[in-house]
Amino acid sequence: MARPDKRDLLGACIWAGATLAAVAVSDSMLLRTILGVPMVLLISGHIVLRAIGVRTTSLSEHLAYSIGASLAVTVAGGFVLNAIGSLTSLGWAFWYLAVATAAMLRPAGNDAVASKPAWLGPLQIRPWQGAAVALAMLVATGAYALAIHDQAAERQFKYTEFWMLPPASSDPGQLVIGVRSAETQAQQYDLDITLDGKPFAVFRSLTIAPGDTWVRKIPVPILTTKQLAEARLYRPADNKLYRRVSALVPGT
Amino acid sequence: MTRVHSNADIAVIPVRSWLQSCLAVIGPDLRGSSADATPEPANPGWIATLCLVVAMGLLLIVAGHGAGRRGDAVAPLLFWSGVVLAVVPTSLRIAWPNVARSERLFVLILLAEALLYLKTVYSPTGFAHHDEFLHWASAEDLATGHRLFLSNPLLPIASAYPALEIVTTAIVKLTGLSIFAAASILLAVLKGTLMAALFLFYERITGSARIAALACLTYMGCSTFVVFESGFSYESLGFVLCMLILAVEAASKDLVGREKSAALGLIALLLASLAVTHHLTAAFVAIYLGMLAALEALRRDVSLRLEARIAMGLTAVLAITLPLLWVMASGSSFTGYVGPVIETGFKTLMGKIFGTGIPPSEHLGAPSQPLGMRLTTLLAILLLSLGLATGFFRSLAMTAPPYLHAGWLPIHGILKRRWRDSRVVLLTVLACGFPISIAFRLTVNGWQIGNRMGTFVFIGVGLVVAVGIIHFWQGRASRGWRLIGPCAALAVIVLGGVTAASLEPIRGPYKVASDSQSIEHMGIETARWTKEWLGPGNRFTGDRVNRLLLAGYGRQDVRTKISEGIFAARAFRHDKLGSDELYALARSDLDYLVVDLRLTTAPPVLGFYFEPWESEQGTRLTAAELLKFNDVKGVTRTYDNGYLIIYNVRGLHGAP
C-alpha cells in the first residue's frame, strides 16, 4: 500500500513557520500579508480537511470547504488563545504552526483528498484574453483609487474647531486652548478669555491657515473655589462672535 | 331540465378551460432539460470580455459616486449605467443554456465580487454602515485589549458572538493591516465562498449546474445580498458558515463509513463556529436541520440507509444543542434582543391586516426612494412571484418518485409522504416565506423582520424560481423569447436586489439622520479630535450617527442610555432640561454629550435621531433644545466647530 502523500502538509508547516518568522522579525506589511492572509483563510482549513479526511470532488468544493474550515480553526484559536492570555501577533502565529504541526505528525489514515480538476479546466488562453483580464484588473484598481481620491477631496462643510480643556490632574493650573482651521483659506481671529466673567487673556490677529492648529497652555490661578473659564473666538472680518467654549477650573 | 343542464354546461366550459390553463401554468409537469449540453472547458473569450465589461461598469459606478459627492445631476445616470453594465451581461451569460459549469461558477463569483465592490466604493477608506461601526468598535477592543467578551454598549449581544472579530483580528495581528483593510479582505473572501457554497448546495440537491447557477442568480435578488450581507457584521460571516454547513450536509448524503464520519466532523466544526458567530443564523440552521430530520422520519419511501438517518438526526441534535449551550454558557439574552423586534413587527402586520391598533411610529411612513428604483424593485418582485407560481409544484415534482410522473400524481405522491430528497421539499416550502417577508417589508416596524427573513427565505426562492425557469419558461426547446425572456428577467431580479438594498445607493451630500449618508469628513474629524485631545475611553452620548463615529474613529465609550431605563433622547428633547433628566445626568457616569446642530436643519431621513423606538418621532429637533446645555450650571462647552458642540457634564457629578 502506498504511503499517503504529505507534501502539502509539510508545505503548510513551512508556510506556518515562515509566517511565525515574519511576525517575529519583520515589519514589512506586504510580506506579512502575503504569508498571513492565506494562512488564516485557506491553509489552516486545508490542513484540517486533510487531518479529518474530508473527501471533496472538485477544486471549487475543496477551496470552499478549506475556507470554511479555516474560519473554524481561527475561531477555535481565538478561544484557546484567550484562555491562555495570548491573543497577540505571536500567539496567533504559534497557533497556526501548532495546528500545522499536529496535522503533519498525525498518524497516517485515509487522507485521500480527491481533487478532480473542475475549476476552469484546460483553458487555452489567447494573448488578447490575458490582456483583457489584466486591463480589467487595472481599470477596477484605478477606479478604486479614483473613489479614494473623490472621498479625500470631498469637503462639504468648512469650519473652524475651537476648544478649551480644563487643567489636567498631571498639569494643574494650565488651561489648554486650541484652534484648528478646516476653512478654504487663511482666516484671522481674535481670542478673549475670561475667568469668572473677568477679562483674563487676549490674543489678537491670530492668522490660521487651512489645516493648521494653534494651541496654547494658559496658566490660571488656583483658588479655593471652582472658577468658570470662558473663551470667545471672534472673526474681525465680519466683526462677530464665531465660536465659544468654556471649562471649569477646580478649586484646591 | 335538459335545457337547464345545457346552459350550465355552457357556463362551466369557459371556467373549466380557464382553470385548466391556470393549472397548466402552475402544474407540476417537468418540460425542460436541466442538463448542460456543453462540457468543460469554459470559454476564455467570454470570461475575458465579461471581466472587462464588469470593470468598465465599476468605473462608471465610481464616477457616479464621485458626481454624487459633487452634487452633479449626472450622478444617477453614471451610477445606474455602471450597475446595468456590471449586472446584465454577466446575468445573461450565467443564465444562458450550454455554458460550462466552471464558467458559470466563475462568472457568478465575478458578479458577486462586483456587487461587493459596488458596496465598498460607497466609502472606500472606512466603514459606512451602522452595524459595521458596532463590530469595528468590538474588533478594536479585541485588538487592543487582547481579551474576548469585552462589553459593547452599542450592541451588548455582540460580545457573546465574537467570531467575526476573532477572524478579523487574527488577520490584523498576523499582517499588521488596519481593521478596515483586514475586514475588506475577509469580506471579499466570504463573498466568493458564499457563492461557491450556494452553487455547490443547489447543484448537489438538483443534480444540475444550470439550475444551481440560476438559483444563485435569483438569490442575488435578495434585498440583503448587496449591502446587509456584505457588511462588516456578524451575519455576513454567519451566513457563509450556514451555507457551507448546508452544502457539506447535502454533499454527504450519499457517503458511507469513514467518509461520512469525516463530513460529520466538518459539519460539527462549522456548527460550533456558527454557534459563536450569529444567533439568528444559528437558529435558522437548527430549524433547517431539525425539520430535515423530521421530514426524513416522515418519509415513506425509505431508500435512505439507517446509518444516513442516524447521521441526519445527529446533525440536527448538534445544530440545536450547540447554540443553546452557547447561549447558556455566555449568558447572552437572545430572546431579550430579538423578542421585542418580532413582537412589534407582528403586532404591526396584524394591525394592518385586521385594522386594529398600529404603533404610532407606523404612521410616520417609510423613507422614500426615487421612482425608478421603486419600479425596478416592484418589477423584480413581480418576476419573482411569477417564478414562484410556476416553479412551486414543479420543484416538488422534481423530487417525487420517478414512477409518479403523470399529471398531478407527483404532488399526490408528495402529499402521501413519498419523495426522494427532503431538502428539496423543505426548500420549496421555505420559499412560501417570500410573500410573508414582503408583507413585513411594507410596514415600518416589521421591515426589519422582513429584511432578515429574506436572507433565509431566498435560499428556497432561488431553487423554486430556477426550476420554474428551466421547466416552464424555457422548456425543452428554448429559443427566441423563451430563451432571452427568462435570462433578462433574472437580470432584472438581480437589479432589484441592488435597488432594494439601500435607500440611497449613490453617495451624496450630508443628510440628517440617514446613517451612511450622514457620515462625512467633519463628523469623522470631530470624533478623531476627541481621541487626540480627550484620550480614548471617555463616556459619551449623543445622536445615533455621532455615537457611531465616536465609537469607531474616536475610540470613546459610547452609551445609548444616560442611566438605566433612560435613553439619551430624553436629555436632548425640550427647550429646558427637566429635573428628572438633570437628576439622571447628575447621577450618571457620563463625561460628555455631543450635540449636532445639523440635526435641526431637516427632518430625519430614517424618521428618528437617536433610537428607532424614541418616543417623539416625527417631531423635529430645534436649536433651542440642543443648545439648552449652555445654561445648565455645571455643564461646560469643551469643543465647538459651529456645527458640532461637545459639552462636559462632569461638573454635574462634582468633577471638572
Task: Provide ipTM, 2 decimals.
Answer: 0.91
Interface test with A, best of B175, B271, B507, B520 (most A CBs within 10 A): B175
Interface test with B, best of A80, A150, A227, A238 (most B CBs within 10 A): A150
Q: Min CA distance, B589 vs chain A (Å)?
A: 18
Query: Among the three residues A59, A78, A105, which one is the final residue of a domain in this structure?
Result: A105
Q: Min CA distance, A102 vs chain B (Å)?
A: 17
pLDDT band at B351 (very low <50, low <70, confident <90, very high): confident
A161-175, B172-186, B258-272: segment of lowest average pLDDT: A161-175
Selecting from B101, B125, B262 the residue whose C-beta is nearest the C-beta of A54 gives B262
CB pairs under 8 A between A and B: 303
What's the average model confidence in pLDDT over A115-119?
Answer: 46
What's the average model confidence in pLDDT over A32-52?
Answer: 95
**Greater model confidence, B115 or B364:** B115
pLDDT band at A113 (very low <50, low <70, confident <90, very high): very low
> What is the spatial distance between Cα B645 and Cα B629, in angstroms, rounded to a whole number?
10
Contacts of A116 in chain B (CB under 8 A): none
Query: Among the three residues A42, A71, A105, which one is the final residue of a domain in this structure?
Result: A105
Query: What is the share, in percent, of chain B residues with pLDDT greater than 70?
Result: 93
- Give me the pLDDT at residue B394, please: 93
Instruction: Look at residue B130 and tell me whether its pLDDT is greater than 70.
Output: yes
Instruction: Quick: pLDDT tens for B558-567.
Output: 999 888 888 8
- Give me the pLDDT at residue A109, please: 55
Residue of chain B whose alpha carbon sits nearest to that of A50: B262
Residue of chain B whose alpha carbon sits nearest to that of A226: B656
What's the average model confidence in pLDDT over B258-283?
Answer: 95
Contact indicator for B416, B300 with CB cutoff of 8 Å: yes
> What is the spatial distance between Cα B593 and Cα A245, in angstroms, rounded to a whole number?
14
Contacts of A60 in chain B (CB under 8 A): 102, 105, 196, 199-200
Element (H, E) at A249: strand A240-249
Instruction: Quick: pLDDT tens for B169-218.
Output: 999 999 999 999 999 999 999 999 999 999 999 999 999 999 999 999 99
Record: contact B52-A118, CB cut-off 8 A: no
Query: What φ, ψ does residue B65 adopt, rounded to 5°?
Result: -60, -45
Indicate if the alpha-carbon torsion angle B228, B112, B442, B543 is positive or negative.
Answer: positive
A127-141, A203-217, B353-367: segment of lowest average pLDDT: B353-367
Contacts of A133 in chain B (CB under 8 A): 47-48, 51-52
How many structural domains comprise chain A? Answer: 2
Task: Assess if residue A144 is contained within a domain.
Answer: no
Instruction: Quick: pLDDT tens for B499-520.
Output: 999 888 999 999 999 999 999 9
What's the average model confidence in pLDDT over B261-287?
Answer: 96
Q: Min CA distance, B309 vs chain A (Å)?
A: 20
Q: What is the mean pLDDT of chain B?
A: 90
- Give me the pLDDT at residue B12, please: 67
The residue range of the domain holding A62 is: 7-105
**Greater model confidence, B210 or B368:** B210
Contacts of B240 in chain A (CB under 8 A): 68, 71
Instruction: Look at residue B525 and tell me whether its pLDDT is greater than 70.
Output: yes
User: Looking at the complex, does the CB of residue A140 fall below 8 Å from at least one CB of chain B?
Assistant: yes
What's the average model confidence in pLDDT over B623-627?
Answer: 94
Q: Min CA distance, B146 vs chain A (Å)?
A: 5
Indicate if the alpha-carbon torsion angle B487, B490, B495, B496 is positive or negative.
Answer: positive
Contacts of A123 in chain B (CB under 8 A): 41-42, 44
Record: contact B177-A60, CB cut-off 8 A: no
Type of residue at A83: A
Q: Residue holding cell 403523470?
A: B406
CATH code of the domain covering residue A168: 2.60.40.10
Instruction: Look at residue B551 and tell me whether its pLDDT is greater than 90.
Output: yes
Instruction: Look at residue A1 and tell me whether its pLDDT is greater than 50.
Output: no
What's the average model confidence in pLDDT over A140-155?
Answer: 94
- Give me the pLDDT at residue B1, please: 43
Query: What is the share, in percent, of chain B residues with pLDDT greater than 90?
Result: 66
- Give me the pLDDT at residue A114, please: 44
Record: contact B167-A49, CB cut-off 8 A: no
Query: What is the share, in percent, of chain A residues with pLDDT greater than 70?
Result: 92
> What is the spatial distance between Cα B59 and Cα B54, in angstroms, rounded to a whole number?
9
Query: Among the three residues A89, A105, A121, which one is the final residue of a domain in this structure?
Result: A105
Parallel/antiparallel/unpaired status of strands B539-541 and B557-558 = parallel
Q: Min CA distance, B356 vs chain A (Å)?
A: 46
- Give me the pLDDT at residue A115, please: 44
Instruction: Look at residue B143 and tell me whether its pLDDT is greater than 60.
Output: yes
- Give me the pLDDT at residue B30, please: 78
Record: contact A157-B263, CB cut-off 8 A: no
Cβ partners under 8 Å of residue B86, min gap 6: B53, B54, B57, B58, B61, B111, B114, B115, B118
- Give me the pLDDT at residue B302, please: 63
Do A179 and A100 lie in a common domain? no
**Greater model confidence, B606 or B392:** B392
Type of residue at B318: L
Instruction: Quick: pLDDT tens for B461-481.
Output: 999 999 999 998 887 666 788
Q: Which three cell numbers stand for residue B638?
A: 469643551
Instruction: Look at residue A111 and tell me whether its pLDDT is greater than 60.
Output: no
What's the average model confidence in pLDDT over B112-119?
Answer: 96
> What is the spatial distance between Cα B651 and Cα B656, in angstroms, rounded to a whole number?
5
Record: contact B45-A129, CB cut-off 8 A: yes
Angle between helices A89-105 and A7-25 (to 10 degrees): 160
Report the residue count for chain B: 656
Instruction: Look at residue A112 and tell me whether its pLDDT is greater than 60.
Output: no
Task: Assess if residue A196 is contained within a domain.
Answer: yes
Contacts of A242 in chain B (CB under 8 A): 642
Contact indicator for B386, B472 with CB cutoff of 8 Å: no
- Give me the pLDDT at residue B17, please: 82
Contact indicator for B621, B610 with CB cutoff of 8 Å: no
Record: contact A161-B533, CB cut-off 8 A: no
Task: State the CB neighbour count (10 A cutoff) for residue B477.
Answer: 11
Q: Residue holding cell 407560481?
A: B389
